[in-house]
């Protein structure tokens, strides 16, 4: 059975009510020193063209140690790693011309904690963090039922985040190894077909629809952005507003994606399906998508994001996601394979002249995806090669 490791981040707000003033200012001092260290490292990385955290560490560790003698040494380790990832990300964006400025500036709202810098008591949800002079501070974390699922997962690294409003968060990475079900033609499946405003899922026994209204939401935000571009004069203000609305749009859509994924997965669990079948858009090229307009590309881009969310969530519940070639899934008959024609009885209905099938387009797409999965299973079995490379 294929085995895979999945990682999830748990966010905790830190309860600062019972923490005394002196300790809080110690934490602020830590943030400030960490910021200095990272910015110094960025400067060095930039002027020497270094992207490797190890090389940064060799070059700067002793100097930083002397300059900041009371900070525990592992903060310098993680600062090197953080710097490296910030700098790499910057270079990548620079190549794509997605950012301005000579070099990145670290605003200092994040501290990267490895296993030497923090401990977590997941029974009581308390964290201990090491401060200057190797003193530990215990912090209570706000938690809810959402956090329970992390209790039996493996603890990874964490990030301490200081929000602009002064709230302190601890974002902890957890991982779990999952065993995913084997692919086989007799496994129960749910096929998923993503459209602009709804997601259809089901198999030969049932088909359901989840309204996302994504296209409508996107159009609304598109118009909003256009208004900002034409009405707002200041360049900086314009940029900030555009960013704000872009963020808001994506958060809204992401929430809908999560809901859709949840619905599909719970339905799969209900009917005992172990495989989720979804279109593999890699098979398609521009012309197939009919994406002369921007819309097609946008749709594809967000479709990938939905895929990622669905795949991730599915794995958490021990379900496998399989991609199949989507060519012609909406234009051939799922029963006899003949070409379909639009029916006279309604614009979403399709009709097969050979076997007389008359069905809604969505139902046809879902049935075809289900069928295609089975065909690929059979083919793989016949040729004795392992099914899909995992």
**Closer CB to Zn ion, 178 or 333, in the complex:** 333
Alpha-carbon span 87 to 65, nearest angstrom: 22
Contacts with Zn ion, 282-321, as mask; x by CB under 5 A: ----------------------------------------
Report, in Å, the least distance between residue 207 CB and Zn ion.
17
Alpha-carbon span 288 to 243, nearest angstrom: 32
89 near Zn ion, judged by CB under 5 A: no
Number of residues that bind Zn ion (CB under 5 A): 8
Report, in Å, the least distance between residue 355 CB and Zn ion.
3
Evaluate whether 158 touches 111 at the Cβ level (below 8 Å).
no
Report, in Å, the least distance between residue 273 CB and Zn ion.
25
Q: Per CB under 5 A, which of residues 355..374 are in contact with Zn ion?
A: 355, 357
353 near Zn ion, judged by CB under 5 A: no
Angle at 292 between CA 288 and CA 294, to 5 degrees: 110
**Closer CB to Zn ion, 76 or 333, in the complex:** 333
Segment interacting with Zn ion, rule: CB under 5 A, options 23-31, 41-49, 291-299, 338-346:
338-346
Report, in Å, the least distance between residue 12 CB and Zn ion.
55
State the angle between helix axes of 53-67 and 21-48 in degrees (0 to 180), rounded to the nearest 10.
130
Binding-site member from 113, 253, 278, 352 for Zn ion (CB under 5 A): 352
**Closer CB to Zn ion, 226 or 354, in the complex:** 354
Strands 154-162 and 110-113: antiparallel
Choose among 2, 322, 329, 389: nearest CA to 188. 322
Alpha-carbon span 366 to 359, nearest angstrom: 11
335 near Zn ion, judged by CB under 5 A: yes
**Closer CB to Zn ion, 43 or 339, in the complex:** 339
333 near Zn ion, judged by CB under 5 A: yes
> Would you report the helix, strand and coil content of the chain in percent, each value rounded to 5?
45, 25, 30
336 near Zn ion, judged by CB under 5 A: yes
- Residues with Cβ within 8 Å of 13's Cβ and at least 6 positions away in sequence, in order, are 141, 142, 167, 168, 169
State in Å, rounded, how far the first CA of the chain is from the last one: 10
Binding site for Zn ion (CB under 5 A): 333, 335-336, 338, 352, 354-355, 357
């Amino acid at each position: 059975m294929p085995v895979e490791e999945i990682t999830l981040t748990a966010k905790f707000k830190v309860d600062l009510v019972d923490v005394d003033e002196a300790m809080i200012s110690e934490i602020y001092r830590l943030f400030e020193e960490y910021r200095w260290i990272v910015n110094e490292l960025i400067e060095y990385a930039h002027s020497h063209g270094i992207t490797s955290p190890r090389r940064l560490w060799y070059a700067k560790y002793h100097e930083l140690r002397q300059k900041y003698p009371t900070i525990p040494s592992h903060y310098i380790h993680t600062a090197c790693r953080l710097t490296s990832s910030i700098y790499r990300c910057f270079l990548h964006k620079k190549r794509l011309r997605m950012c301005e400025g000579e070099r990145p500036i670290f605003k200092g709202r994040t501290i990267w904690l490895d296993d030497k810098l923090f401990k977590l008591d997941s029974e009581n949800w308390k964290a201990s963090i090491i401060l200057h002079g190797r003193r530990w501070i215990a912090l209570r974390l706000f938690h809810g039922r959402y956090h329970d699922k992390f209790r039996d997962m493996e603890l990874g690294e964490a990030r301490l985040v200081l929000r602009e409003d002064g709230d302190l968060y601890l974002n902890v990475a957890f991982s779990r190894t999952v065993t995913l079900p084997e692919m086989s033609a007799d496994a129960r499946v749910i096929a998923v077909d993503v459209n602009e405003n709804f997601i259809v899922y089901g198999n030969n026994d049932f088909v359901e629809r989840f309204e996302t209204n994504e296209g409508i939401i996107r159009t609304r935000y598109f118009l909003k952005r256009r208004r900002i571009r034409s009405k707002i004069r200041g360049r900086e203000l314009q940029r900030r507003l555009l960013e704000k609305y872009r963020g808001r749009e994506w958060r809204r859509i992401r929430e809908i994606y999560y809901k859709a994924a949840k619905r599909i997965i719970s339905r799969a669990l209900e009917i005992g399906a172990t495989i989720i079948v979804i279109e593999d858009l890699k098979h398609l090229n521009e012309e197939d998508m009919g994406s002369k307009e921007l819309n097609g590309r946008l749709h594809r881009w967000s479709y990938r994001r939905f895929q990622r969310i669905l795949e991730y969530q599915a794995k958490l519940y021990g379900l496998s996601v399989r991609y199949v070639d989507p060519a012609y899934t909406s234009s051939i008959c799922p029963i006899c394979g003949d070409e379909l024609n639009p029916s006279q009885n309604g614009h979403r209905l399709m009709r097969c002249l050979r076997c007389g099938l008359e069905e809604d387009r969505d139902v046809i797409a879902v049935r075809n995806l289900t069928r295609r999965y089975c065909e690929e299973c059979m083919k793989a079995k016949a040729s004795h090669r392992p099914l899909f490379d995992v």
